[in-house]
Amino acid sequence: MLDVVTLGESMVQLTPTRTGLLRYASHFERFVAGAESNVAIGLSRLGHRTGWIGRVGADELGACVVASIRGEGVDVSQVVYDEEAPTGVYFKERRHPGLTRVYYYRAGSAGSRLAPSNLDAAYIREARYLHLTGITPALSTSCRETVWRAIRIANEAQVPISFDPNLRRRLWAEEEARSVLLEMLACAHLVLASVEEAVFLTGEDDPEAAARILQDMGPGQVVVRLGADGALAIGESGALEYKPALAVDVVEAVGAGDAFNAGFLAGQLRRWDLAQSLHLGNILGGLATTVPGDVEGLPTWAEVQPYLGGDEMVDR
């Protein structure tokens, strides 16, 4: 039995070794990243059992993606190797600290060809959570159909769904994105949104008010990530919890949301309360920003301990 199963596209990421315009870059560092696999890796480092469902090209980059994720202790037995499409690639352009642009080369990629037939229902039914993002349904019609099949499987088996809208405006039109994301949100038990996404989905600028609107749409728990201001959550009772962010020197903010999600889910898996789960989420989100890659800064359970402070975290 896995604690969390997730599905989506993971790619090879290339980041210049120094800041500046991408056109002038000649030396790159290679990473592997994807919103869903980032969460799986974050949870795995904290001692949880996770699985990632995806599709990669039958090429060297696909082998790199799978080996990297497997090497982090994530189960990759459900990965499909595509003989007809390549593994996706994307580049980061770090203009200066605090300003990063991302350029994707994923159109027609193997990951965008994920299909409902790639899902093993039993694999999802045995999980404690199914974690989804709004990126996958934006990639293609088959990806969207796959997401909905996964949701049906989870709902029928009463597997809670955690959902990060993870809005990518470049992938689809705003109205279509809002419609699909709200429909997915209504099927989730837990929603993990950035403050920008909460505003986009509700039209409400106040984070708490936006969270309550989202909760009224169906999910029992709603978390809104506030970036440098921390995060808040509305529990099933309607009570509000808030925790401040971890103070760190930020090197690269991309990937912080995925790291937070992993921390928060880890708290919920350990049956911690909302405040404790928020605190753990903020710890992981903060530490993830201290390095250039998405997952290289994610801590192990032992490395988390000094940051827990006086909070008495008891597994229930």
Which residue range forms the structural domain that includes residue 60? 4-307
Q: 127 Cβ partners below 8 Å, 6+ apart?
A: 1, 2, 3, 4, 5, 51, 154, 159
Question: Is 52 a domain residue?
Answer: yes
Q: 299 Cβ partners below 8 Å, 6+ apart?
A: 45, 46, 283, 284, 287
- pLDDT-derived band of residue 25, with 50, 70 and 90 as boundaries? very high
CB atoms inside a 10 Å sphere around CB 247? 7
Question: Is 152 a domain residue?
Answer: yes
Domain count, the chain: 1
Question: Is 146 a domain residue?
Answer: yes
Return mean pLDDT, the chain: 93
Secondary structure of residue 12 in the 3-state scheme? strand
Spell out where 55-199 has E strands.
55-57, 80-82, 89-96, 99-105, 129-133, 161-164, 190-194
pLDDT of residue 84: 96
The span from the CA of 267 to the CA of 90, in Å, is: 31
The span from the CA of 180 to the CA of 196, in Å, is: 17
| 259: CATH | 3.40.1190.20
The span from the CA of 207 to the CA of 212, in Å, is: 9
Percentage of the chain with pLDDT > 70? Answer: 97
Has residue 29 got a pLDDT over 70?
yes
Has residue 145 got a pLDDT over 90?
yes
Tell me the C-alpha to C-alpha distance, in Å, between residue 59 and each of 32, 86, 193, 268. Answer: 15, 7, 34, 37
CB atoms inside a 10 Å sphere around CB 309? 10
Question: Is 183 a domain residue?
Answer: yes
Question: Is 223 a domain residue?
Answer: yes
Q: What is the pTM of this model?
A: 0.93
Question: Is 316 a domain residue?
Answer: no
- pLDDT-derived band of residue 97, with 50, 70 and 90 as boundaries? low
pLDDT of residue 98: 65
Please write the tens of the pLDDT for every residue from 52-70: 999 999 999 999 999 999 9
Residue whose tokens read 């709004």: 134
**How close are the terminal C-alpha atoms of the chain, in Å?**
19
Determine the angle formed by the axes of helices 174-185 and 195-202, rounding to 10 degrees.
Answer: 100
Please write the tens of the pLDDT for every residue from 206-264: 999 999 999 999 999 999 999 989 999 999 999 999 999 888 887 777 788 999 999 99
Question: Is 312 a domain residue?
Answer: no
Question: Is 203 a domain residue?
Answer: yes
**Beta strands 4-7 and 50-53, pairing class:** parallel
Residue whose tokens read 């309607």: 238
The span from the CA of 103 to the CA of 92, in Å, is: 6
Has residue 313 got a pLDDT over 50?
no
Select from 56, 24, 38, 49 the least CA-distant residue to 261.
Answer: 38
Q: Catalytic pick from 206, 258, 273, 294? A: 258
Can 258 be counted among the known catalytic residues? yes
pLDDT of residue 316: 46
The type of residue at 210 is: A
